[in-house]
Chains A and B, each alone.
Chain A
């Protein structure tokens, strides 16, 4: 299977000299194209740092990150920006949006930088995405006028607007109630069905149970892996149980 991201013995440390601490410690990871993967770990285990490193948002101290056939660790900032804008999508725990733009403007923003002339078709695409995730009527709303769940859906639309090869989600349901969280996970499943790779960072067993492969992190290393089948809407309880058992086993 073709790999979309390879992290090869990456190390990332914070702090100076004696206080230096490796948050990622010679960690290696491979994600296949079209895969739906979750990374789990306790707070401080380095999972968000891993996501920032894999997406080129943060430099690594050693090792390398390859995206497709390109070495991210050898790229300049502008090239990294270009890749993030055209090939990747991001969904954060707090859907960070620009306060002075309305919902649809926030969604089309990443695409407008390069394709201003096609504003009409980009906006149409955004409307279609919004409709699909159930916020079609919120187009002209300010970001302060909608609920957290609605805002997170808008965040997903923004991540999808460029037809990315991979979507990174950093605790995408962390700030939502369980009903909203479930709906958001349904959307991620759908996106993955359509062929987009999805990599989620989470500490929620229910979220991890929706993916097909779960990696567990501790002290900057991947310590274990759990393979699940593609989720088909059944056996959710069993999947959750498997994930939870593994977590207990690893003491996470």
Chain B
């Protein structure tokens, strides 16, 4: 009997059944994809990091290195399992030519290494440790993805010729977020190249037990060993590798949550209207003594059918699409060993969706209890109270056209009914606006200030070289006489010991110089101005547990000096752990210095860069726009794509739901429509009434959606952005697109859907719906 009931019902409501099923399938597909991706990502990441034996602790160091002291530290420290020092030969991008492309525009630190002996292996694309022969060059995988070169290409490094023998996966530096990239050459070739660039040391440790990492870090700092460069730990490597795909999974999960929510709204609405239609029958069933659970089952069975078919469909789709989404993970990290489990987790995810839908349907069906037998049999409909808007009367209306008035009035009196549609429209405009604002924000010039980068045009890095101070002065002298440069500043980074509350000391990199020339955005407080002020990056402030106004003690020239924290800022440069101060110091070694400059004519930046490059070969000179593009370019592009996708998805959802809603509304309003027609209202009058209803709801939806987007959306986007290191965040809105173009697109979508959904109104026969 159930099959007959379901069959009839589905045939009668083809469109509604189909839409509900599409939403269930979409939700199931997304959840299954998210599960499959998560398992694959974590599996592939584990495989990669296990096979390549990623170091647990890495200290980069430029300058001389005391091998004996390091070895004795490693031997004495009981936590250390293995220890090695790898050389990383830094060669300027302009000296690296792969096939036909030069890496002159690359902002990455490109360096050359040999294969490690104990751990931190560089792997080929099959996950094997690469055994490199003379004359062969293995290139970081990201250059394969960017189509810079291919296997078999000729490579010329500072005049020395190689053949690109393959691509490598580097568990340390794979991620685009990592600033360095390692190329692999044979020992002999390396020896020949050694004098062509500057050598940086990677001091690497594997610990017996990863949980002792914190303890080991403190011990390393306390031993005052080589530390002229950033420190990176295993956890950070893992995070950097997982971040971009992790974000994709997060977005998929977010979208699937939205789709599930919309599915619920859909189900709630169709179910309640169905119950409204069947009011009389339900009353009779109750009256003749059928149990509520029996009646419920009749309705539940249909949704079991829809949800099951939708879930199976969704699972099929997720299997179909997983390849595309797994491409990046496979390329950068290889196959996951546990990928067979992934499907299982996908199925579990889908079952979760299925059960939550059935639970929800069951919940909605609780409304049966509220149906009064007497009312149902006597009136055949629920006696809904029309409430509110009593003052909004036709006999006092001189403002609106009568059809528009009737549309608005209907929305105002049946608020509960329209709340469903409103909710969908609010969600839709929210998902249109938030990604778009996010894209505008991160692609705007001012955003870099949130990232710790001021609004300058050209950046000159002087690092990994001797006599940094003299070289900086040399360039500064040139710049001060250069009329094309309108403003500049030199910032020098030095390491100082910071006294911790527990008496231990920790290294703090402090950038000294004039911070007012190119101000950055402070999430709290202000830039340091006085000699005894210091500003901390937010990660440092967190780690050192300091707030604005707190005091911090640094050891300068052997003496302890107190500073007060003047401000906290977001920073993505140098691992996010920086500080800024203005005091002068002649003692400590300079780690690096940068000169930042603004040009009077920004179109001249590239010329200026070539000019300075030819004069100061030791400096790394880059265009800031390029720096930003290469660092965030892929993220900005993904967000841009996501924002277009969001517009498309929202518009589809808007059209589908409006269509569905209008169809249901027409079915519900048959008698009123017939009455209108009898009174001489034309088909187009009725269409205008329904259009005004949907446009009125849409306007409220857009206003609420926009408000939500600019409050809650900003918070959400801020949370995503803060994962990049920026934590004070305000949307940059493009008013034309956010407040005019997108609403206009939604209006069009809603109007088209309304016309489509209400086309049935024309067919309503007066004689069939008005009983004489």
A contact set with B: CB distance below 8 Å:
47-49, 51-52, 57-58, 77-78, 81-86, 88, 90, 92-94, 96-102, 104-105, 108-110, 112-113, 116-117, 119, 122-123, 126, 140, 142, 144, 158, 170-171, 201
Contact = CB atoms under 8 A, between A and B. Distances in A.
A195 B767 CA distance: 28
B681 interface: yes
State the 3 A-B residue pairs at the shortest beta-carbon distance, nearest first.
A85-B680, A48-B772, A100-B413
Interface residues of B, number: 37
Contacts of B672: 96, 98-99
B413 to A, nearest CB: 4
Q: For A112, A122, A144, A171, which residue has the most chain B Cβ atoms within 10 angstroms?
A: A112
B201 interface: no
B338 interface: no
B677 to A, nearest CB: 7
Interface in B384-398: 386, 390, 393-398
A77 B680 CA distance: 10
B771 A93 contact: yes
A117 B401 CA distance: 10
A73 to B, nearest CB: 16
A199 to B, nearest CB: 13
Interface of B: 383, 386, 390, 393-398, 401-403, 406, 409-410, 413-414, 671-672, 674-685, 765-767, 770-772
9 contacts: A52-B767, A57-B677, A77-B683, A84-B678, A90-B678, A90-B679, A98-B675, A100-B414, A119-B397
A228 B771 CA distance: 29
B394 A105 contact: yes
B678 A116 contact: no
A119 B395 contact: yes
A144 to B, nearest CB: 7
A85 B770 CA distance: 17
A71 to B, nearest CB: 18
B421 to A, nearest CB: 17
Given A105-B393, A112-B402, A117-B398, A93 B679 contact: no
A155 B396 CA distance: 20
Contacts of B383: 144
B394 to A, nearest CB: 4
Contacts of B396: 119
Nearest to B674: A96
A41 to B, nearest CB: 12
Nearest to A49: B767
Contacts of B772: 47-48, 51, 92-93, 170-171, 201
Contacts of B675: 96-98
Nearest to B766: A57
Q: For A77, A86, A201, which residue has the most chain B Cβ atoms within 10 angstroms?
A: A77
Nearest to B401: A116
Contacts of B403: 113
A15 B390 CA distance: 45
A117 B672 CA distance: 25
Nearest to B386: A100
A170 B685 CA distance: 25
Contacts of A170: 770, 772
B401 A58 contact: no
B680 A110 contact: yes
B409 A101 contact: yes
B681 A96 contact: no
Determine chain A's interface SS by DSSP, over half rule.
helix
B409 A109 contact: no
B771 A102 contact: no
A84 B675 CA distance: 12
Contacts of A77: 682-683
A85 B771 contact: no
B409 A58 contact: no
Nearest to B397: A119
B402 A52 contact: no
Contacts of B682: 77-78, 81-82
B401 A48 contact: no
Contact of B386 (A78, A109, A142, A158): A142
Contact of B771 (A82, A94, A105, A126): A94
Contacts of A112: 394, 397, 402
B580 to A, nearest CB: 64
A116 B766 contact: no
A140 to B, nearest CB: 8
B685 A113 contact: yes
B395 A113 contact: no
A119 B672 CA distance: 23
Nearest to B403: A113
A112 B404 CA distance: 12
B409 A100 contact: yes
A96 B671 contact: yes
Contacts of A81: 677, 680-682, 685
Contact of B402 (A116, A158, A201): A116
B397 A116 contact: yes
Contact of B679 (A51, A85, A99): A85
Nearest to A52: B767
Q: For A58, A77, A94, A100, which residue has the most chain B Cβ atoms within 10 angstroms?
A: A100
A93 B771 CA distance: 7
Given A57-B677, A92-B772, A170-B772, A101 B398 contact: no
Contacts of A108: 394-395
Contacts of A57: 677-678, 766-767
A124 to B, nearest CB: 10
Contacts of A142: 386
B27 to A, nearest CB: 35
Nearest to A143: B386
A98 B394 CA distance: 12
A86 B767 contact: no
A9 to B, nearest CB: 20
Contacts of B767: 48-49, 52, 57-58
A12 B750 CA distance: 39
B764 to A, nearest CB: 11
B226 to A, nearest CB: 80
Contacts of A94: 770-771
A112 B383 CA distance: 28
Contacts of B398: 116-117, 119
Nearest to B395: A123
Nearest to B384: A99
A86 B679 CA distance: 9
Contacts of A86: 680
Contacts of A85: 679-681
Nearest to B682: A81
A44 to B, nearest CB: 12
B770 A96 contact: yes
Contacts of B393: 102, 104-105, 140
A117 B402 CA distance: 10
Contacts of B414: 100
Contacts of A93: 771-772
A96 to B, nearest CB: 4
A246 B406 CA distance: 47
Contact of A84 (B410, B679, B683): B679
B291 to A, nearest CB: 32
B691 to A, nearest CB: 16
A249 B706 CA distance: 74
Contacts of A123: 395
Nearest to B411: A100
Contacts of B679: 84-85, 90, 109-110, 158
A130 B615 CA distance: 98
Contact of B680 (A82, A104, A140): A82
B402 A113 contact: yes
B745 to A, nearest CB: 30
A102 B403 CA distance: 16
B622 to A, nearest CB: 66
B385 to A, nearest CB: 8
A163 to B, nearest CB: 14
Contacts of B681: 81, 85, 113
Contacts of B685: 81, 113
